[in-house]
């Protein structure tokens, strides 16, 4: 297949970002949204983005004109008729995606790939409404799509080998780093990263530390670029909470993924984060952000607790063949900018040390959320470094 035209459904931040990536890679792109205002805003944003790239010397005026001319805008699904691939980036509601994919199949050619940018919904379910479901695949970009290098590629049980092979090659030709994930809730990143948010919220709810101190512990001691509360405010509490609920229900209410009432209340109150002006922090002009308690011993305890929970989730993802060891570590460093891969980190800390901390938590709380992964226990029993052959 030689795709010359790419379709993107949804002119929000993510959809527009994907359209930009495809256009800058040399494809003709049609960006479709039923909301004309969203299309107008996307076009204005492109001009602003490209102007900044010119100012930084990363794009010439000629390239700006060429890229801009490659993107067309439409409110009609019929505009997808001659696309080789359509990537959907709309609301995370399965019933809406079912309706959209059913409609798309009536318009596109028989060999057009139909992809979803969903972050947590089942690709198999999305494709179940298609007559030719072997064309469906998950292609999950991270926000902002033009800047974040990682893309998760998720074949469903129906996906053909040719669809998988071509989709992976196409996205890599756009300069992206791809990882292959099994079609399970949250895929790699949104599954493995849940404790970064969930355990931080739990530590806060227990009164161990406030938002600022937890964020400080994870950045100053842990080396993360953003603390969990700063990051949730950046993502949007409404978005992050929706993903948490989705993963929790999709895992048949496994306690490891249990949502937090603190985050639920912030979302219900409209405290979404930066985009609403208030989240865990107040972003109003002139308001000073709270200062953390820079207690090194407390910070180390907070960091250790969250880190071992993250490592445990990475081990469980590997145990259940969600992805390879290499792809799990690559996903966490390239998708959410972790300082290092969690499985590599586990080796550096010592697997017996990680297991001991998890067993202490499990013993103290008696909750299933702290149960150590069987794979971690097995590796400790075998008494060798996880990265050794």
Can you give the three-state secondary structure of the chain, one letter per residue? CCCCEEEEECCCHHHHHHHHHHHHCCCEEEEECCCHHHHHHHHHHHHHHHHHHHHCCCCCHHHHHHHHHHEEEECCHHHHCCCCEEEECCCCCHHHHHHHHHHHHCCCCCCCEEEECCCCCCHHHHHCCCCCHHHEEEEEECCCCCCCCEEEEEECCCCCHHHHHHHHHHHHHCCCEEEECCCCCCCCHHHHCHHHHHHHHHHHHCCCCCHHHHHHHHHHHCCCCCCHHHHHHHHCHHHHHHHHHHHHHHCCCCHHHCCCHHHHHHHHCCCCEHHHCECCCECCCCCCCCCCCCCHHHHHHHHHHHHHHHHHHHHHHHHCCCCCHHHHHHHHHHHCCCCCCHHHHHHHHCHHHHHHHHHHHHHHHCCHHHCCCHHHHHHHHHCCCCCCC
Whether 266 sits among the annotated catalytic residues: the reply is: no
pLDDT tier at 3, thresholds 50, 70, 90: confident
- Tell me the β-bridge partners of 114: 86, 136
Domain stops at, among 158, 180, 202: 180
In whole angstroms, what is the distance from residue 330 CA to residue 337 CA?
Answer: 10
What CATH number corresponds to the domain at position 329?
1.10.1040.50
Q: Domain check: are 12 and 69 in the same one?
A: yes
Of 306, 296, 307, 374, whose CA–CA distance to 343 is shortest?
307
Residue 327, in any domain of the structure: yes
Work out the average pLDDT over 152-180.
97
Q: Domain check: are 130 and 245 in the same one?
A: no
pLDDT at 255: 93
Q: Domain check: are 272 and 345 in the same one?
A: yes
Q: What is the pLDDT of residues 201-227, one digit of tens each?
A: 999 999 999 999 999 999 999 999 999
Q: Domain check: are 16 and 96 in the same one?
A: yes
pLDDT at 389: 38
Q: Which pTM value belongs to this model?
A: 0.93
In whole angstroms, what is the distance from residue 39 CA to residue 317 CA?
Answer: 38
CB atoms under 10 Å from CB of 35, counted, come to: 13
Query: What's the mean pLDDT when you consider all of the chain?
Result: 95
Evaluate if residue 33 carries a pLDDT over 80. yes
pLDDT tier at 385, thresholds 50, 70, 90: low
Q: Which phi-psi region, left, alpha or beta, contains residue 175 (left: φ > 0; alpha: ψ -120 to 50)?
A: left
Q: Domain check: are 214 and 243 in the same one?
A: yes
Evaluate if residue 121 carries a pLDDT over 70. yes
Q: Domain check: are 31 and 170 in the same one?
A: yes
Q: What is the pLDDT of residues 342-382, one digit of tens each?
A: 999 999 999 999 999 999 999 999 999 999 999 999 999 98
List the Cα angle 352/355/358 in 5-degree steps: 155
Q: Domain check: are 115 and 215 in the same one?
A: no
Number of domains composing the chain: 2
In whole angstroms, what is the distance from residue 101 CA to residue 74 CA?
Answer: 17
Domain stops at, among 155, 180, 205: 180
Q: Domain check: are 172 and 279 in the same one?
A: no
132, 140, 266, 384: the catalytic one is 140
Of 176, 198, 216, 183, whose CA–CA distance to 335 is shortest?
176
What CATH number corresponds to the domain at position 151?
3.40.50.720
Q: Domain check: are 37 and 58 in the same one?
A: yes
- Tell me the β-bridge partners of 150: 177
Number of residues that make up the chain = 389
Q: Domain check: are 176 and 198 in the same one?
A: no
pLDDT tier at 79, thresholds 50, 70, 90: very high
- Tell me the β-bridge partners of 153: 139, 180
Evaluate if residue 2 carries a pLDDT over 50. yes
Q: Are strands 136-141 and 150-155 parallel, antiparallel or unpaired?
A: antiparallel
Work out the average pLDDT over 22-37.
96
Asked whether the beta carbons of 256 and 313 are under 8 A apart, the reply is yes
Work out the average pLDDT over 282-293.
95
pLDDT at 388: 42
72 lies in which domain range? 5-180
């Amino acid at each position: 297949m030689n795709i010359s035209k790419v379709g993107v459904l949804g002119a929000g931040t993510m959809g527009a970002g994907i359209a930009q990536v495809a256009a800058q890679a040399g494809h003709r792109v049609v960006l479709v949204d039923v909301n004309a205002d969203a299309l107008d805003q996307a076009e204005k944003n492109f001009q602003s983005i490209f102007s900044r790239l010119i100012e930084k010397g990363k794009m010439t005026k000629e390239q700006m004109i060429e890229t801009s001319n490659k993107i067309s805008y439409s409110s009609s699904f019929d505009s997808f008729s001659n696309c080789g691939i359509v990537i959907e980036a709309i609301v995370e509601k399965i019933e809406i995606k079912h309706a959209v994919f059913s409609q798309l199949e009536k318009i596109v050619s028989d060999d057009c790939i139909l992809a979803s940018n969903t972050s947590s919904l089942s690709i198999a379910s999305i494709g179940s409404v298609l007559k030719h479901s072997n064309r469906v695949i998950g292609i999950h970009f991270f926000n902002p799509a033009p800047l974040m290098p990682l893309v998760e590629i998720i074949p469903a049980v129906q996906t053909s080998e040719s669809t998988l092979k071509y989709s992976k090659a196409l996205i890599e030709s756009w300069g992206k780093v791809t990882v292959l994930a099994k079609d399970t809730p949250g895929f790699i990143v949104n599954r493995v990263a849940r404790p970064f948010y969930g355990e931080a919220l739990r530590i806060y709810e227990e009164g161990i530390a406030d938002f600022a101190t937890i964020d400080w512990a994870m950045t100053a001691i842990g080396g993360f670029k953003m603390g969990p509360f700063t990051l949730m405010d950046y993502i949007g509490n409404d978005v992050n909470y929706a993903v948490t609920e989705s993963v929790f229900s999709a895992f048949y209410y496994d306690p490891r993924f249990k949502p937090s009432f603190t985050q639920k209340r912030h979302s219900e109150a409209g405290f979404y984060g930066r985009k609403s002006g208030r989240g865990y922090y107040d972003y109003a002009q002139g308001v000073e952000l709270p200062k953390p308690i820079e207690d090194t011993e407390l910070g180390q305890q907070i960091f250790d607790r969250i880190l071992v929970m993250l490592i445990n989730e990475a081990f469980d993802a590997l145990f259940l063949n969600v992805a390879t060891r290499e792809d799990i570590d690559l996903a966490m460093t390239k998708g959410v900018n972790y300082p290092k891969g969690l499985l590599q980190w586990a080796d550096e800390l010592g697997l017996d040390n990680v297991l001991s901390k998890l067993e202490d938590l499990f013993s103290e709380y008696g909750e299933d959320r702290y149960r150590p992964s069987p794979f971690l226990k097995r590796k400790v029993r075998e008494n060798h470094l996880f990265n050794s052959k």
